Structure formats: structure tokens, C-alpha cells
Amino acid sequence: MSQECSHLGQVEVTRLPESVDGCEDCLREGTGWVHLRICLLCGHVGCCDSSPERHATRHFKQSGHPLIRSIEPGEEWSWCYVDDLALVIDGIEGETRIPPSPLLN
Ligand SMILES: [Zn+2]
Ligand SMILES: [Zn+2]
Ligand SMILES: [Zn+2]
């Protein structure tokens, strides 16, 4: 990888939650998500940019937290919004059980 993310020192979430109920903003607002992402700074669970409300990106814009990780089964990639960079971050443990997408049935 030629590019680097300068925000790795900000990662606070090093163990993924055992399970989540879905995108926390969608659950509150009654909307649906496609894929789930977790904020690696505060643990906010939001939805991807294929989802109507794009809550993960919205969380970045509101909080400035730059790093998310996919919590889809079998996916380990992270994304830095500031560096516009996909990366795999070592040292994040666990796998999250997630419910099926309400939009992909
Ligand atoms: Zn970065
Ligand atoms: Zn959402
Ligand atoms: Zn956050």
C-alpha cells in the first residue's frame, strides 16, 4: 500500500461488539440499512453509502471521526474518510453478529 492513514492512533475500538441490532440511527428513525459500519473512535454503528440515509458517512460529517470498519460477516476492511483510503487495521478483535438487512430480502 503506497498511501498511509495518519489517524490510526485515534482508534479506540479494538474489540468489536458481540452483536448489534442494526444501524442505530435507522432503528431510531424507522429507516432501513443495506450494510453496517462501525466507527472505530466511538463505536457508533451506522449504515453504508448504498443505504438510503448513509448514516456512517453522516456520523463522520457530524463528529469528524475519520475511521470506520465493516462489521459485515467475513469483512475486515476499514475506511478512512479523511484520507479517502481503504485499509486493514491490525489488532481489532472479534466478530459482530448482525441482523439481516431490512432492505435486502
Ligand atoms: Zn486517515
Ligand atoms: Zn442507517
Ligand atoms: Zn464516532
The string of pLDDT tens digits covering residues 3-38 is 799 999 999 999 999 999 999 999 999 999 999 999
Distance 102 CA to ligand 2 centre (A): 11
In a domain, 43, yes or no: yes
In a domain, 39, yes or no: yes
Distance CA 21, CA 98 (A): 6
- Main-chain phi, psi angles of 47, to 5 degrees: -110, 155
In a domain, 38, yes or no: yes
Owning domain of residue 62: 10-87
In a domain, 58, yes or no: yes
Partnered with residue 79 across adjacent β-strands are 68, 86
Tell me which ligand sits closest to the C-alpha of residue 51: 2
The string of pLDDT tens digits covering residues 51-102 is 999 999 999 999 999 999 999 999 999 999 999 999 999 999 999 999 999 9
pLDDT of residue 65: 98
Q: Structural domain tally of the chain?
A: 1
Tell me which ligand sits closest to the C-alpha of residue 6: 1
Distance CA 60, CA 81 (A): 8
Q: Which CATH number belongs to the domain containing residue 36 in this structure?
A: 3.30.40.10
pLDDT at 2 over 60: no
pLDDT of residue 1: 47
> If DSSP codes are grouped into helix, strand and coil, which group holds residue 45?
strand
Tell me which ligand sits closest to the C-alpha of residue 24: 2
Amino acid at position 42, single letter: C
